[in-house]
Amino acid sequence: MSSNLIKVALIGNPNVGKTSVFNELTGLNQQVGNYPGITVEKKQGVCKLSDSVKAKIIDLPGTYSLNASSIDENVVIELLLNKNDEDFPNVAVVVTEVENLKRNLLLFTQIKDLEIPTILVINMADRMQLKGIELNIPILEKELKTKIALVSSRKKIGIENLKNLILNYETLSTEPCLHASSIDPDYFNNLRRAFPNQLLYKLWLVITQDVNFLNLDRNEIKSSFTKSHADLKRLQQKETIKRYQFINDTLKIGQKIDVSKASDIRAKIDRILTHKIFGYVIFFGILMLIFQFLFDWSSIPMDFIDETFANFSSLAKQNLPAGEFTNLISEGIIPGIGGIVIFIPQIAFLFLFISVLEESGYMSRVVFLMDKIMRRFGLSGKSIVPLISGTACAIPAIMGARNIENWKERLITILVTPFTTCSARLPVYAILISLIIPEKRVLGFLSLQGLTLMTLYLLGFGMAIFSAFILNKYLKLNCKSYFVVEMPSYKIPMFKNVGINVLEKTRAFVTGAGKIILALSIILWYLGSHGLSDDFNNAEKNVVAELQSKNIKLNPSLIEDKVNAYKLENSYIGYMGKTIEPVIKPLGYDWKIGVAVVSSFAAREVFVGTLATIYSVGSHSDEETTIKNRMAAEVHPITGNKVFNFATGISLLLFYAFAMQCISTLAIVKKETNSWKWPIVQLVFMSGFAYLTALIAYQVLK
């Protein structure tokens, strides 16, 4: 074959550093997308092997074996069984880890059975000495019928060798390393006779799991070769035992472990991190640190961004020729973009913390620590990962619930995760808190605003747990509860992996949410600066007439203000706001806040952007004003009181804490639960509850 593009599939167990190897091979030359129709992340990248040959590398989801138990794992099997898939690999690279070689090789022997050219990567080779492990590579290569690349992605060793092996993939053996069919010779012989043109192991996989298989009629095989579920499972167990026998025999001659050298750092750290008291203290300490960090530290770049965009806006206004187009740029687009960019520091920090916790291996300990408690509420210890990553964004969090084995626990996790405080709520909280909570410190170092933010986070968690408890009581679902959590060894997170992850997630969030915000801010600007009625078009005349009739004299700039306010009130947006005012008035909101609440139904962060757009329409054009200052100055036209007072602020905070204001989340819940029922239940319950609490809070506090 003379193709200059070699297709490579990167396969491996979770926690073996597969992504590190992928990052080393492709650098920043990677794209993340989705597999069509499902929300499994598809990562691929390009790697230059020589002057004329490149490799297209596909990073497949981590899997323990070719027996799929989740959609993520299904992706692996479907690709490897389908020769017609455009991504069907020329060569499979199986990544294993030196300390877990025995278990990792199980998947390797399965891949070999598919007769695809296969390279074995033994990663984390730099830890061999520390762990007292010695490998006899020539023997292993001979027994496993493959070529081995010893790699340390951390120390950047062995990558060139791996590239060379990929380049010369055509010389690799495609012979299986063992004959799994000997577990039931009669059965497999019959199968072979019935389908002489098909790979035996492929047939076996098709029989044992639900794979969409294109060129084989599954029903045909199934009807004549089906065994009872229990029999199949017994055979699968036999197969697994057989594979382990082979692996043990191979490692006996190819691997030496000096047990005395193996340090037990993992055991020592485990003893502290999973301790019944210190374990929780450390966990809550880490959470608290994250939130203090998040509010105190990210406010510096956020203030800077806020002011920069205000400056941009007035610069544009001064330097571009006056007219519709300039207004669109300076009042619609620039504040709109500013409303997106301002999140970047906090989102990046959040993703940074989460990916450090995951990479280091700590997250699995939290799962272990929390399982018993979470189960009382119908959740699983594994729900803690969605609940924590929900603080960044509910969408990846809900997808992360996939590895919860029990459907009921998974469903409850999906339903309650949107209560956790996602980063889209942050800008709303940040601006409201800074308006209504004084900038004081308690005990000398804890900022009162930071504490308020933390309270809101706890409120979100509390509500999630409480609704889980209710759902657990009333959902009648009987599911077998399986819970298997691998406890990986502790590792210092690799800067490159964390960096790429933070960059990727932040970019996806900003572009995803950014499009909605930008579009909405343009629409809002239009609706706010145009009106149908005579009142709008004759604003100036009407205002002047009214002032004259009351015999009031004002200087020109104040008159202009009055005119603008009058225009806004009679614009399209003014009408819309006024229409819904009766519904939101009991919560303490005026029609401008109402417009912001309604437009932020698509995505919460739109709230701030909308207010920015609405207010900049009604403010002095020659002054630079930040959104916050503008909101602080807003007074009620009749009473003269501040609009964003304590009662309204708290009412808004509570509303945003509980309401289901995110279309993307509803869409993902529909996808993950495969029905409209659950997203609708979620919407009605969350938003109804939000309205009620906001109402009570305002009526009590006002």
Partner 1 sequence: MNTNSSALKIGETATITAVNLDEIPLKLLEMGCLPGNKITLLQVAPFGDPLYFNVNDSHVAIRVETAREISVLKDN
By CB under 8 A, name the binding residues for partner 1: 64-65, 67, 69, 100, 102-103, 106, 230, 233-234, 236-237, 240-241, 244, 266-267, 270-271, 274, 276, 279-280, 364, 367-369, 371-373, 381, 405, 480-489
In the complex, least distance from residue 313 CB atom to partner 1, rounded to whole angstroms? 54
Let me know if 234 is exposed, middle or buried by CB neighbors in 10 A (0-12, 13-18, 19+). middle
In the complex, least distance from residue 226 CB atom to partner 1, rounded to whole angstroms? 18
Phi, psi torsion values for 157, nearest 5 degrees: -110, 140
| Residue whose CB is less far from partner 1, 42 or 103 | 103
Non-local (6+) Cβ contacts of 287 within 8 A are none
In the complex, least distance from residue 47 CB atom to partner 1, rounded to whole angstroms? 30
Residue from 491, 489, 490, 485 nearest 368 by CA: 485
| Residue whose CB is less far from partner 1, 102 or 145 | 102
In the complex, least distance from residue 251 CB atom to partner 1, rounded to whole angstroms? 10
In the complex, least distance from residue 483 CB atom to partner 1, rounded to whole angstroms? 5
| Residue whose CB is less far from partner 1, 272 or 519 | 272
| Residue whose CB is less far from partner 1, 69 or 645 | 69
| Residue whose CB is less far from partner 1, 370 or 657 | 370
In the complex, least distance from residue 233 CB atom to partner 1, rounded to whole angstroms? 5
In the complex, least distance from residue 364 CB atom to partner 1, rounded to whole angstroms? 8
First-to-final CA distance of the chain:
78
| Amino acid, res. 283 | F
**Cα→Cα distances 299→20, 342, 531, 660, Å:** 32, 10, 38, 26
Token pair recorded at residue 368: 């272990």
| Residue whose CB is less far from partner 1, 72 or 634 | 72
* Crossing angle of helices 334-341 and 495-529, rounded to 10°: 150
Half-sphere exposure of 242 (CA within 13 A, CB side): 16
Phi, psi torsion values for 6, nearest 5 degrees: -95, 130
**Cα→Cα distances 542→527, 535, 567, 619, Å:** 21, 8, 10, 19
Residue 130, SS3? helix
Whats the size of the chain, residue-wise? 702
Phi, psi torsion values for 122, nearest 5 degrees: -105, 105
Cβ neighbours of 610 (radius 10 Å) = 27
In the complex, least distance from residue 69 CB atom to partner 1, rounded to whole angstroms? 6
| Residue whose CB is less far from partner 1, 270 or 560 | 270
Token pair recorded at residue 151: 């790699």
| Residue whose CB is less far from partner 1, 237 or 675 | 237
Task: Spell out the alpha helix ranges (H) of 152-228.
Answer: 159-167, 185-194, 200-208, 218-225
CA angle 37, 43, 49 (to 5 degrees): 140
Residue 120 and residue 144 in contact, taking contact as beta carbons nearer than 8 Å: yes
| Amino acid, res. 543 | V
In the complex, least distance from residue 228 CB atom to partner 1, rounded to whole angstroms? 12
| Residue whose CB is less far from partner 1, 194 or 241 | 241
| Residue whose CB is less far from partner 1, 232 or 696 | 232
In the complex, least distance from residue 267 CB atom to partner 1, rounded to whole angstroms? 7
